[in-house]
Amino acid sequence: MKAASAVVIMANALANAPTLTDDVRPWVKRFVRIGYVGKGIVYLLIGALALQLALGEGGRVTDASGVLRTLEAQPFGVALLIIVALGLLAYAGWEMARAVFDTRGKGSTAKGWLQRSPPIVKAVVHGALGVEAVRLVVGNPRRSQDAADVAATTMSFPLGGILFALVGVGIAIYGLLQIWRAWQFKFDDDLDQHLLRRDGAGWVLTIGRWGIGARGVIMTVMGLAIARAGFVRRPSEAAGISESLWTVLAQPYGHWLLAAVAAGLVCFGVFQLLHARYARL
């Protein structure tokens, strides 16, 4: 509830601009760009730690919550967490505003709301993570729930297993769509093409292609595990990002596969950081 409230407040603040596209006030643009920085840092560290593990150089498999705790333990950890928390909440507010105010003109039909739902999901997920970062900053952390905890709670309701399975199917389809978008180079609609050409920064799209493809792989693995857990009603089989990375590692040539996926997640993190400059707002 707190995460949802924070996201709604952020969305309303962002929506105070005349529009959410070309006329967005400069301070709103700066705040949203900080949002991409927060998101980028999280994915960059998830990938970097997993890559270290794959290469036998230490590291570990972790998820976004684990990254926040890793940041907290670093020198100037509180300052880093504040930056990431502000970034995540800004990103969540921006995505919620995009969905609520229909900045892409999807319409209010059932199909339109379905097309507007991914930003809402992104807003809730990143808003919750931003609130978790804030709780760490103020010294009031809570035990983070893993995928199995969420699965057990969901399956305790009537038809909860089926609902959880359908969510997994949706995540898997989204992951496959991301892989397709990466393959077809259909992911640059959020970028300022004029600025990219002016800077001669075509390499940004190459980084984005590898990053989005790798994240698509993880989303597909995660979605399939969630779907299976729901259909067979076994919460322990549900998977988040960290469990999905372990699944990749457990395959034949797992270290090589994990290295490839982890490097891709690093690329995705860098791609989000580059959005701080090249995002079309």
Say which residue, 27 or 200, is predicted with more confidence.
200
Question: What pLDDT score was predicted for residue 17?
Answer: 41
Judged against a pLDDT cut of 70, whether residue 2 lies above it is answered with: no
Contacts of 237 (CB under 8 A, 6+ apart): 151, 225, 228, 229
CA dihedral 98, 11, 124, 262 (to 10 degrees): 70
Distance of CA 69 to the CA centre of its chain: 17
pLDDT in tens, 49-75: 999 999 998 889 998 888 988 888 888
Tokens 């507007």 locate to: 116
Whether 246 shows a pLDDT value over 90: the answer reads yes
State how far the Cα of 217 lies from the Cα of 94, in Å rounded to an integer: 26
**Which of 27-36, 153-162, 165-174, 228-237 comes out lowest in average pLDDT?**
27-36
Contact 248, 257 (CB under 8 A): yes
Helix axes 26-54, 203-232, angle to 10 degrees: 70
* Most confident residue range from 1-10, 153-162, 208-217, 236-245: 208-217
Q: Read off the DSSP letter of residue 55.
A: T
Measured CA to CA, the distance from residue 264 to residue 281 in angstroms comes to 25
Would you list the DSSP string of 150-170? HHHHHHTSTTHHHHHHHHHHH
Radius of gyration of the chain (CA): 19
pLDDT at 227: 93
DSSP 241-274: HHHHHHHHHTSTTHHHHHHHHHHHHHHHHHHHHH
Least confident window among 28-32, 124-128, 151-155, 239-243: 28-32
Classify the phi-psi angles of 253: left when phi > 0, otherwise alpha if psi is within -120 to 50, otherwise beta. Answer: left
Q: Which two tokens stand for residue 49?
A: 């730690």
Amino acid 14: pLDDT = 46
Give the chain's length: 281
Furthest CA-CA distance within the chain: 56
